Amino acid sequence: MSVEAVKHIIATVFSAQNALRELAPEFKWAGMGNLLWDYGEYVCIKKYGLTKATAGADGYDARTADGKSVQIKTNHAASMIGYRGEADLMLVIHVDDSGEFEEIYYGDFAPVKNASNFSKRDNKSTITISKLRKLKQELYVPESPRR
């Protein structure tokens, strides 16, 4: 199945979700977590040439060609992501209602962990999308053109 075909199906699901919100606005109609997460892993693995982790892998979802572990997080509407465990790399994407996605952050896990908050109650770390975007800018500033 191609990425475009899967993307079309995801866009159709989001469209149906928006229609439900209009029909019954007293409900959030936001129970799409697992579908969204699976879509995020799928497109990231395809786009970045990753290998899906085996079931039960602790703290990561995929591996790079050189064996680094990658934790993948997908965002659609929330202002932050939550995560447990650690990996070598963190890859976070945002998916819009059309199924299109953009990279929010892809890089070393340590800066994300250092900028995160830990919730003992939920036993997980959280970081806002805005902090992730800022980290990406700080860590990946392109070199100045040579004169």
The answer to whether residue 130 is domain-embedded is yes
Q: State the pLDDT confidence band at 147, using cuts at 50, 70 and 90.
A: very low
Q: Quick: pLDDT tens for 62-89.
A: 999 999 999 999 999 899 999 999 999 9
- CA gap 116, 114 in Å, rounded: 6
Average confidence (pLDDT) over 116-123: 94
Q: Answer yes or no: is 147 within a domain.
A: no
Q: Which amino acid is at 111?
A: P
Average pLDDT over residues 30-54: 85
Any domain includes 132: yes
* Predicted confidence (pLDDT) per residue in 103-117, tens digit: 999 999 999 999 999
Residues 6 or more apart whose Cβ sits within 8 Å of residue 126: 80, 81, 82, 83, 116, 117, 119
**Residue 10 binned pLDDT confidence (cut-offs 50, 70, 90):** confident
Question: Taking residues 117-126, what's their average pLDDT?
Answer: 94
pTM of the model: 0.79
Domain presence at residue 108:
yes
Q: Residue 38 and residue 36: Cα distance in Å, rounded?
A: 5
What was the pLDDT predicted at 145? 54
- Could you tell me the two tokens for 24? 């019954």
Establish if 13 belongs to a structural domain.
yes
pLDDT at residue number 106:
96
pLDDT value, residue 97: 87
Domain span at residue 33 reads 3-139
Assigned domain for 129 exists:
yes
CA dihedral of 95, 47, 41, 2, whole degrees rounded to 10 = 90
Structural domain total, the chain? 1
| Residue 85 near residue 58, CB atoms below 8 Å | yes
The percent of residues in the chain predicted with pLDDT above 90, rounded, is 59
How many angstroms separate the CA atoms of 39 and 85, rounded?
21
* 34 within a domain of the structure (yes/no): yes
Edge-first strand order for the sheet with 101-108 is 51-52, 62-63, 69-75, 89-95, 101-108
> Does 145 map to a domain?
no
CB 73 within 8 A of CB 101: no
The 10 Å Cβ neighbour count of residue 57 is: 15
